[in-house]
Structure 1
Amino acid sequence: MTAPESQGHDIIVIGASAGGVEAVREVAARLSPDLPAAVFVVVHSSPSSRGLLAKLLDRAGPLPASVAEDGAAVAHGRIHVAAPDQHLLLRAGHIHLSRGPRENGARPAVNPLFRTAASSYGDRVIGVVLTGNLDDGTAGLLAIADAGGVTVVQDPEDALYPGMPSSAVTQVPVDHVAPLAAIPALLNRLVLEPRGVPAAPSPVSTAEAEDGLDWLSHRRPPGHASGLSCPECDGPLWEIRNGELLEFGCLVGHRFSPETLAAAAAASLEERLSVSLRALEERVRMAERLVENARERGTSPIIADRRLREAERARRVAAQMRELMEASSRVRDGEAAD
């Protein structure tokens, strides 16, 4: 049924990434069949994903689950799952889907769902961060906390991929940290608890929460220039601070948390190095072919020798480029291990 004004916490938003399908399925399997709340789920997925998560959740537990539809009512007793390549956003009373700029390299991303839930429903929201790499979900969970909602994080030591839970626990005043097995019962209890004193209204407008950044319409930069470039569009990035929490965004609307930005920058560097290496290897092959051609035609030894030196220089530069790529990969692998 359509969600009425509630005295309890009747909006549950769940975010996960790597390992998230199994984690969310375990939660869905043990939710109460008469849960007086609407549940919204974002798990990072590929744009070409078949979008089977809703069917898995529908089969897993007592609550019906379906892919979220634009304009659909926010209904108690249902699980709404983000569709591939679309942000799942909440407005007062209904769902909104968006093909807006990717956040933390993902669409759907966790932060837009959490942020819009906080903006539209305030202290009625329960935000849940489950397993995943890097730190999507942290800024959104902080928005929920600031709006007076309840924050729940899977114990990082219990998570298959602890990055997202660890980031949330470190940077957000989390209300509950629990192993995955305990989260369904915790949610069943929290939705029945009355809310406390309402929090002050969020200073974030609906448009800013929905689109991530409402900078273009204001024609003003969102914060301090960072001196960095957006991995998505190569535009300048600006620093945005919410208390101690730091994010980066460009004027297009791409938005990054620090860990995700570092990972995206490393991937972008590796891609560009690969392009440069391919060009160098082609130059080596061309120089070698010119040497062969010079010898076949009986060209002056001076010209042949010059071609040979060009090929050797190109080979040395290509070898150095390979070493640089290997070093970059080792740094990235070391950061992932940390």
Structure 2
Amino acid sequence: MDDLSKSGSVMARSSIIAIGASAGGVRALCSLASELPGTIGVPVLIVLHVGAQQSVLPALLNAAGPLPAKHAKDGEPLLPDRIYVAPPDRHMVVVDSQLRLSRGPKENCARPAIDPLFRSVAESYGPAAVGVILTGNQNDGTLGLFEIARRGGIAIAQDPDEAAYPDMPRSAAEHVALDYTLRIADMPKLLVHLASGKDGKEKAMPITPFQSDVGQTPELIDSIPFERPVAITCPDCGGALHSSEVGTITKFGCHIGHSYTAETMAIAQFDKMERVMREAFRFLNERAEFCLQMAEQYYPQEPDLSAAWQAASRQALDRAYKLRDLVEQDWITPEVAESRFTQSQGSVSR
């Protein structure tokens, strides 16, 4: 590996480029690949949120530009002038200049996720790493990009005004000291310059400690004290979550390995709550049907027992409809309101 020190006007040559995208990412990635040269001199690693669905991204990138693209294979060495794409349902990370794939816990509700790749690139390459965040919803990649910047690497985000889905690049801009914010059309030239050592930055971001002193005043709900739960649990597995601060970002993680930024956690928790309540509605409906069948079975031989089963069926059905009405009421969702406020403030400031 080249000398990674940066002193005076001498800039280190970047040794790896990691790119993350989500919604709207296929078009953005193809546009970027179409302008990259076939001899950029470094490996290019890409994570697109595809979940477990089939991915044809390598074929699209091969058709778009000269750099050969392929789905990464576990254990293969990194080679320059190649595009490696995280395959469906697998996290892709770099370990000892090799690609490793895993079905590890989802991060920010995604597998493959961007943060694991960016973290591994930051740890393995330090100032020689380049991280790029493109279009996408929510904020996967922000934590990983923070690590790249903290270790002296180059942090880049697509201009949110250009992004089809601006959440991810906007989150990166809010929480990471970005080196560049630019349009897709301007990225290829910059990446070539970084790979050839013609651009860079002087030093890593300092690690800034953060502490939280949130008050814990008991709250009354309809004159009844609100008993705070012992722990907040993971929407994926139900395990207890611990929170930590990474720069200006709050991160939640469980012992299994699922992790969320605060915004993603709020959305995942609400979705889980709504799903559980709808499952309860379904179970109540099923209980009503089961009790009705039992009432029909005992009628007319045991009319009193049949009547009891009928009463149980009516009770279950009544509570099912009450629960359905509760689920379908409007809910206060500050995480959605905050996202919309941030977007509107960004529009006004520009």
TM-score normalised by length of structure 1? 0.82
159-168 vs 326-335, greater mean Cα deviation: 326-335
Q: Which residue is 2:316 aligned to? A: 314
Q: Which residue is 2:145 aligned to? A: 141
Q: Which residue is 2:42 aligned to? A: 37
Q: Which residue is 1:84 aligned to? A: 88
Instruction: Report deviation, 1:265.
Output: 1.5
Distance 1:333 1:259 in 2: 6
Q: Is the 8 A contact 2:249 2:262 kept in 1?
A: no
Distance 2:193 2:325 in 1: 55
Q: Is 2:99 the partner of 1:95?
A: yes
Structure 1: where are the runs of 5+ without partners? Answer: 203-224
SS in 2 for 1:119: helix
Instruction: Report deviation, 1:267.
Output: 2.4
Q: Is 2:117 the partner of 1:113?
A: yes
* RMSD (CA atoms): 2.9
Instruction: Report deviation, 1:130.
Output: 0.8
Q: 1:297 aligns with which of 292, 297, 300?
A: 300
Decide which structure has greater helix share: 1
Q: Which residue is 2:58 aligned to? A: 54
Q: Is the 8 A contact 2:154 2:201 kept in 1?
A: no
Distance 2:230 2:116 in 1: 22
Q: Which residue is 2:158 aligned to? A: 154
TM-score normalised by length of structure 2? 0.79
Distance 1:332 1:277 in 2: 25
1:43-101 CA-partner distances (Å, limit 9, x unpaired): 01122x22321121112101111111223222221111111122111134222222322
Distance 1:28 1:59 in 2: 9
Distance 1:194 1:186 in 2: 8
Q: Is the 8 A contact 2:134 2:158 kept in 1?
A: yes
1:297-322 CA-partner distances (Å, limit 9, x unpaired): 1755x666554443332222111221
Q: Give the 5 Å matches for 1:217-296.
A: 227-292=231-296
Q: Which residue is 1:327 aligned to? A: 329
Q: Which residue is 2:128 aligned to? A: 124
Q: Is 2:33 the partner of 1:28?
A: yes
Q: Which residue is 1:213 aligned to? A: none
Q: Is 2:167 the partner of 1:166?
A: no
Q: Is the 8 A contact 1:238 1:250 kept in 2?
A: yes
Q: Which residue is 2:213 aligned to? A: none
Q: Which residue is 2:344 aligned to? A: none
SS in 1 for 2:232: strand
- Between the two proteins, the alignment pairs up a number of residues equal to 312
The aligned amino acid for 1:323 is: D
Structure 2: where are the runs of 5+ without partners? Answer: 5-11, 208-228, 341-350
Instruction: Report deviation, 1:285.
Output: 1.8
Q: Is the 8 A contact 1:112 1:140 kept in 2?
A: yes
